[in-house]
Amino acid sequence: MIRASLTAISLALLLSCACWAKPRGSKNKKPKQVVPAIDCDVRSGKINLPEFIAKCPAHCKETKQQVYGTGVFASISSICNAAIHSGVITNTGGKVIVRKMAGQNIYKGSNSNGVRSLSLPKWRESFVVSVGKPKKGVIYPATLDYVPSRPTYVKTRGQIPCGHHSAAYDNST
């Protein structure tokens, strides 16, 4: 009888402790940062976000995408080649954080890390790059919002749009 009581008490303690314990895997893990990939030719001016993280592919240096400025780059510069120029990543690619800022009155060109940046007079928007390790508690967007491209208009000369009829183009008279 004492043995049965001890077993019952032990079982009750075990069950109550199990209820209070945290389930496995429920640690306070921070959400994993999803890093969108970009191509070597993507320019910061084409992305509609003030600050974002992106992953550059390998071999961007060979594409010779233009870079304007040193340290602070004009928004028409290749993000990946600006990051290589700054030493934030190497030609093997990697994560980079881009922060946009106001345009500068002048962008001074230079040679650095095998990338030649060009000089440029005043431009409307700039950006800086930093190592792609987010600050504690900061989660960047998992997708990039690209600025819509301008519509392309095709000039037609002497052609009538489909479905229209004009006496000026009618050969039957």
Structure tokens at 172: 């039957």
The domain containing residue 103 runs over which residues?
44-131
Q: How far apart are CA 107 and CA 84, in angstroms?
A: 17
What are the φ/ψ torsions at residue 59 (nearest 5 degrees)?
Answer: 70, 30
Q: How far apart are CA 14 and CA 6, in angstroms?
A: 12
**pLDDT digits over 69-109, tens only?**
999 999 999 999 999 999 999 999 999 999 999 999 999 99
**Is 24 among the domain residues?**
no
Ramachandran assignment for 94, one of left (phi > 0), alpha (psi -120 to 50 degrees), beta (any other): left
Q: What is the pTM of this model?
A: 0.70
Res 110: pLDDT? 98
**Is 14 among the domain residues?**
no
H-helix or E-strand containing 128?
A: strand 125-131
Residue with tokens 């800086």: 128
pLDDT above 60: residue 133: yes
**Is 87 among the domain residues?**
yes
**Is 94 among the domain residues?**
yes
Q: What is the CATH number of the domain that holds 101?
A: 2.170.130.20
**DSSP type of residue 45:** G
**Is 72 among the domain residues?**
yes
pLDDT above 50: residue 173: no
Q: How far apart are CA 48 and CA 46, in angstroms?
A: 6
**Is 136 among the domain residues?**
no
**Is 28 among the domain residues?**
no
**Is 145 among the domain residues?**
no
H-helix or E-strand containing 117?
A: none
Q: What's the domain count of the chain?
A: 1
Helix (H, G, I), strand (E, B) or coil at 157: coil
pLDDT above 90: residue 161: no
Q: How far apart are CA 29 and CA 18, in angstroms?
A: 21
Name the average pLDDT for the chain.
82
**pLDDT digits over 4-48, tens only?**
554 555 555 555 554 454 555 555 666 788 999 999 999 999 999
